[in-house]
């Protein structure tokens, strides 16, 4: 749909006052949302107020409701929890309490509220909005306010953002804090695995989630747990026997440890609680395994927010201010939520009702319905977990006589191993023989190929890098030898996991089909690269881990300057010609500028940035952060920019530079990358099975696939996972610079600039439409993992 871009310059907040509060349980990333609301509000010339201690502060008034400035939210982006405090508030539940709150807001002219909290907090806000005009009239009758005020402040606008680590709110794929909580859980699981391995122990881990099993389910998927207990999907009658058989089978297969994950709200099919202690006692009594319980508790709420949560909260905060500016008395209270990779607005009460429906379904024992109501993303996580965790006995497996090979191509990226594991296990379940190719196409040509079994890929999800080995070599120079290996091993399909080289390789194989009919088989590419520069997808496996590495380092670097005043850091990131890491890293680390290849810059812009930083140093914020993509400009090198800033900043600030290098490629994969890799790989394998069935010819008894749509790349586009023929993606690719011609994240660039106090124009064409919950296309969208 070609529409004229709509810019928010036309939206002015002059004369408006916005109150921002955090309520209910805290969650990492709430501060990023508060910061975005404050800065965006001030940017559009509105007044912005902090409401301290949630609704309690609104009722108490006084120093709890304070006007804030740009600097008030400096340095809070990397802090967990909420700096403006949150409290459970009994008095707001009473009419008197709400009357007092309305009086306190009117005194300051606040008629726009941005509430960051869970469904309880948002329901309270909606009730407050419905009662507002009545409350004002009552205040006027009591002589507290005059008739003029009743007229002037007649309507209260409310926009909600969901901050909750449980991800228990319907209508959004991810709530603020969920990804960070998963980081905490996975850090613990990875640490426990090494000790469990040493002693051949079984560990029972209890994670948060009183009414929602999202954290338990996704962490089980991300660490390959043996068993998981969640409230939405209780185990079948007799689960005790089934679980014990499964655990002892795993031990018999030489697996030295077992991990069982229990959500705190786990129940059996009679709605009786299943506790971690109960599970431990069962394992000890029946199997005699050395078993330990670890309850994670509030660790999950703590710590610094992940890159994903900071970007999500920043996007939502800006969107919330836009929604408040556009709100009319007729628009219902809305929540800003995430669908796939898009910020959308949904009616608050529709989301709340749907969230309550899930609980009702669980209470009434309609568990399948509860899973369905949680949304497509939750359902897919559950189905993928069931597919990968439990091996079907060999005798019961179908036999297709197809051989499928998996290989890694290009530079290593965290999450590749999770993708290989999922491909192998789904392939075996579908009845194929799975083969692993060592060292990419180079290894393929040399015949480094072997059959790989279910057990061979156990424990792979948490491993960084590429266990199969990977090379950047393209197949073009080995075509004959690769064809020969495909013939010798009778390979009927290929899954290629890698970056831009993987995409190019598959184009080469497709073009070589006329000379080598061995390549006329289904081929699927999975994008895996830290650079996120593959056409046809918004996200690549590995980019999230790299982004977290960058953000973590930026946090440390910023902290190193807290003792020394007035210092600017120039940080160089990887990414080839693609500015994704530099741009998103800058947004998540609260940088002042990011230089990227996609947005050409000249000496005047560099000069303007230096002046901007000089101005900033006059305030109480006395440090600066500048990110530069490694190939953003061949002449304005990192050294050049460092020297320019050093010279121009003399007497005002000093400069340091940092080249992050290969630390961005290493490390254990983030929960997002493990799950994204696992889910798209499972989906790709099912596509390969379908294509194999479609293209098998009885005479001469082999697979023959030579159409364009038999070589596809599986990518995530906005809200959906889509298979796209690589031949069609050619027109979208800049092959010289190895980047897509159009990149979605460039739309977020103005966001980074606004939050760093630059005047810029921001295209808001995508926002502003209020959608309805039921109508959301819920195809498994892993922007929420």
- Could you tell me which residues are annotated as the binding site for Mg(2+)? 119
Which residue ranges make up the annotated binding site for substrate?
164-166, 201, 208-210, 264, 292, 298-301
Nearest to 298, CA basis, from 532, 26, 480: 26
Nearest to 668, CA basis, from 340, 294, 201, 193: 193
Query: How far apart are the C-alpha atoms of 668 and 652, rounded to whole Å?
Result: 40
Query: How far apart are the C-alpha atoms of 404 and 427, rounded to whole Å?
Result: 8
CB of 44 closer than 8 Å to CB of 759: no
Beta bridge partners of 739: 734
Beta bridge partners of 593: 626
Neighbour-count burial of 662, counting CB atoms closer than 10 A to its CB (0-12 exposed, 13-18 middle, 19+ buried):
exposed
Task: Give CA separation, 60 vs 98, 279, 535, in Å.
Answer: 11, 46, 54
The string of DSSP letters for 32-90 reads: HHHHHHHHHHHHTT-EEEEETTHHHHHHH-GGGEEE--GGGGTT-TT--S-TT-----S
Report CA torsion sign: 227, 231, 232, 238: positive
Report CA torsion sign: 579, 583, 589, 593: positive
What Rg, from alpha-carbon coordinates, does the chain have?
27
N-term to C-term CA, the chain:
28
Task: Give CA separation, 578 vs 66, 293, 575, 783, in Å.
Answer: 42, 45, 5, 20
The string of DSSP letters for 463-531 reads: --S-SS-EE---GGGGHHHHHHHHHHTT--EEEEEESHHHHHHHHHHHHGGGT-GGG-S-EEEEEB-TT
Query: How far apart are the C-alpha atoms of 395 and 246, rounded to whole Å?
Result: 17
CB atoms closer than 10 angstroms to residue 53: 19
- Beta strand 696-697 with 227-229 is unpaired
Report CA torsion sign: 329, 333, 338, 339: negative
Q: Biggest alpha carbon distance in the chain?
A: 93
The string of DSSP letters for 375-431 reads: -HHHHHHHHHHHHHHSPPPGGGS-----EEEEEEESS--TTHHHHHHHHHHHHHHTT
Question: Any catalytic annotation for residue 394?
Answer: no
With a CB cutoff of 8 Å and minimum separation 6, the contacts of 223 are 186, 189, 190, 193, 259, 461, 462, 674
From 26, 166, 173, 544, the catalytic residue: 166
Which residue ranges make up the annotated binding site for ATP?
25, 88-89, 118-121
Which residue ranges make up the annotated binding site?
25, 88-89, 118-121, 164-166, 201, 208-210, 264, 292, 298-301, 472, 529-533, 567, 574-576, 630, 656, 662-665, 738
Which residue ranges make up the annotated binding site for beta-D-fructose 2,6-bisphosphate?
472, 529-533, 567, 574-576, 630, 656, 662-665, 738
Annotated catalytic residues are: 166
């Amino acid at each position: 749909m070609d529409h004229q871009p709509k810019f928010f310059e036309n939206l002015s907040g002059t004369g408006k006052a916005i109150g921002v509060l955090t309520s209910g349980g805290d969650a990492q990333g709430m501060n990023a949302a508060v910061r975005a609301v404050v800065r965006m509000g001030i940017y559009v010339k509105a007044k912005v107020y902090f409401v301290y201690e949630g609704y309690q502060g609104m009722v108490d008034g006084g120093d709890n409701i304070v006007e804030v400035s740009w600097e008030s939210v400096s340095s809070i982006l990397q802090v967990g929890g909420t700096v403006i405090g949150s409290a459970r508030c009994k008095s707001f539940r009473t009419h008197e309490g709400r009357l007092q709150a309305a009086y306190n807001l009117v005194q300051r002219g606040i008629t726009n509220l941005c509430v960051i909290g869970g469904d309880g907090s948002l329901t309270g806000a909606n009730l407050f909005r419905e009662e507002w005009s009545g409350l004002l009239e009552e205040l006027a009758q009591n002589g507290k306010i005059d008739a003029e005020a009743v007229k002037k402040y007649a309507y209260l606008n409310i926009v909600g953002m969901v901050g909750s680590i449980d991800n228990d709110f319907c209508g959004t794929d991810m709530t603020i804090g969920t990804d960070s909580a998963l980081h905490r859980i996975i850090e613990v699981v990875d640490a426990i695995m090494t000790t469990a391995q040493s002693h051949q122990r079984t560990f029972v881990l209890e994670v948060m989630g009183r009414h929602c099993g999202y954290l338990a389910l996704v962490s089980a998927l991300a660490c390959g747990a043996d068993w998981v207990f969640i409230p939405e999907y209780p185990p079948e009658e007799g689960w005790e026997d089934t679980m014990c058989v499964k655990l002892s089978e795993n031990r018999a297969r030489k697996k030295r440890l077992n991990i069982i994950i229990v959500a705190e709200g786990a129940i059996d099919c009679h709605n009786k609680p299943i506790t971690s202690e109960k599970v431990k006692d069962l394992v000890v009594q029946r199997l005699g395994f050395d078993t330990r319980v670890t309850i994670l508790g509030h660790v999950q709420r703590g710590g610094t927010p992940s890159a994903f949560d900071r970007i999500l909260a920043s996007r939502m905060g800006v969107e919330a201010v836009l929604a408040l500016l556009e709100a009319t008395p007729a628009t219902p209270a809305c929540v800003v939520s995430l669908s796939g990779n898009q910020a959308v607005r949904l009616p608050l009460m529709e989301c709340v009702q749907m969230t309550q429906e899930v609980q009702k379904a669980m209470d009434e024992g309609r568990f399948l319905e509860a899973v369905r109501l949680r949304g497509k993303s939750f359902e897919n996580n559950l189905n993928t977990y069931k597919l990968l965790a439990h091996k079907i006995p060999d005798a019961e497996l179908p036999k297709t006589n197809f051989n499928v090979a998996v290989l890694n191509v290009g530079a290593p990226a965290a999450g590749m191993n999770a993708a290989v594991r999922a491909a192998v296990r789904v392939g075996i379940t579908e009845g194929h023989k799975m083969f692993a190719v060592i060292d990419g196409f180079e290894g393929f040509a040399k015949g480094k190929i072997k059959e790989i079994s279910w057990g061979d890929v156990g424990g792979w999800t948490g491993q960084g890098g590429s266990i199969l080995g990977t090379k950047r070599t393209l197949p073009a120079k080995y075509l004959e030898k690769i064809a020969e290996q495909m013939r010798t091993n009778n390979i009927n399909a290929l899954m290629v996991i890698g970056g831009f080289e993987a995409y190019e390789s598959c184009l080469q194989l497709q073009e070589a089909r006329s000379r080598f009919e061995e390549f006329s088989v289904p081929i699927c590419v999975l994008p895996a690269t830290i650079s996120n520069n593959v056409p046809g997808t918004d996200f690549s496996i590995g980019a999230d881990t790299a982004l977290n590495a960058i953000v973590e380092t930026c946090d440390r670097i910023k902290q190193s300057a807290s003792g020394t005043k007035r210092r600017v850091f120039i940080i160089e990131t990887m990414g080839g010609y693609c500015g994704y890491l530099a741009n998103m890293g800058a947004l998540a680390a609260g940088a002042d500028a990011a230089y990227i290849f996609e947005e050409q810059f000249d000496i005047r812009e560099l000069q303007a940035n230096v002046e901007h930083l000089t101005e900033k140093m006059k305030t109480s914020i006395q440090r600066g952060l500048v990110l530069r993509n490694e190939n953003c400009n061949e002449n304005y090198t990192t050294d050049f920019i460092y020297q320019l800033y050093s010279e121009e900043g003399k007497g005002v600030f000093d400069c340091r530079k940092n080249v992050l290098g290969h630390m961005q490629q290493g490390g254990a994969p983030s929960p997002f990358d493990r799950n994204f890799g696992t889910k798209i790989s499972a989906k790709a394998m099912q596509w390969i099975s379908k294509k194999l069935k479609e293209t098998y010819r009885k005479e001469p008894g082999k697979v023959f696939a030579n159409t364009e749509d038999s070589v596809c790349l599986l990518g995530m586009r906005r809200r959906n996972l889509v298979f796209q023929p690589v031949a069609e993606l050619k027109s979208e690719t800049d092959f010289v610079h190895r980047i897509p011609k159009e990149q979605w994240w460039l739309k977020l660039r103005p966001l980074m600039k606004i939050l760093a106090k630059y005047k810029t124009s921001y295209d808001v064409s995508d926002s502003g439409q209020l959608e309805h919950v039921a109508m959301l296309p819920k195809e498994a969208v892993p922007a929420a993992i």
